[in-house]
Amino acid sequence: MLEIIKYNEDEYPYPCLLVLGCFDALHIGHAELLKKAKLQAKINGLDLGIMMFNNGKGGRQVYTLEERLKLLEQFNLKFVLLVDYNDELKKTSPEEFLSNIENKLNVKGYMSGRDFRFGAGAKGKSSTLKAYAEDDDNGVWYMPVKDITYVGEKVSTTLIKNCIEQEGNLVKAGALLGRNYSVTGIVIEGANRGKKVVGFPTVNMKYPLDKVEVKKGVYKVKCLVGDEEFVGIANYGGRPTYNESSVLLEAHIDGFIGSLYGRAVTIEFVEFLRDTQKFDTTADLTAQLKLDLKRARLKV
């Protein structure tokens, strides 16, 4: 289990390699950096740790801290240096930031992506770390890792958020992340018309307040219920056919039988199918949902 080290509070006495970055999305670029760091830690006989912001840089996140810690298990990390992104940190110079780290951690080497920025005014960068490591008095080494691109674009959290929130391009977002974008929520009671009126039983959940919102519309999804995985379709938004504007995530889980009230369900967004529409009749809505489900049942 990963040890959590709080920045400027907790100590880590063992010689270590620290990977610097924000790591709020844990995308394919981060995975490449961590694979290289894992190798360097092994070669140099060092424990491997990663710096990470506790709650990102504010606002909604691609992954919550709990989700990020789970995703990090595959990289043989020993610890996470947890940093609060607050006013005090924003005033800390790059040199002071590194000094604070080394006052508590036995750092022998640093690694980061070439685009990493840190310190007051984001003045610290790869060249700052290079110069710092070249000063023999500091006794550390530094290795940058070049940016990863996808179809000619630099992989970044900003690009991923744009795919999710603005474009609804969950196929591209999934490729950049290396996995489908997902949210987990507790099933709540809805209007009880899905099975009885529309002919499509659904689960309803409030979208997590700390997660990046998907573009409103209808999606092809995977639904994870415990250890079981199902194909499904989901609508995020209102229900205009019934003049309901409150925003919910509502999913039909193909093939699932039973009640899920009060249970956690994970929805993986595979592909945007269409915008939410207002239908003249329930029969028209049902006919469209049948077409949506037919598309979703194609190879996921």
- Assigned token pair, 124: 């610290």
- 97 HSE (CA, 13 A, CB side): 26
Q: What is the pLDDT of residue 213?
A: 97
Between 242 and 43, the higher pLDDT residue: 43
Q: What is the pLDDT of residue 189?
A: 84
Between 299 and 60, the higher pLDDT residue: 60
Which residues, including other chains, have CB under 8 Å from residue 273's CB and lie 6 or more apart? 217, 218, 219, 220, 233, 292, 295, 296
Question: pLDDT by residue (tens digit) across 76-118?
Answer: 899 999 999 999 999 999 999 999 999 999 999 999 999 899 9
Is the pLDDT at 29 greater than 90? The verdict is: yes
Question: pLDDT by residue (tens digit) across 223-234?
Answer: 999 999 999 999
Buried b / exposed e along 111-140 (16+ C-beta atoms within 10 A):
bbbeebebbeeeebbbebbeebbeeeebeb
Q: What is the pLDDT of residue 184?
A: 96
Confidence band, pLDDT 50/70/90 cuts, at residue 195? low
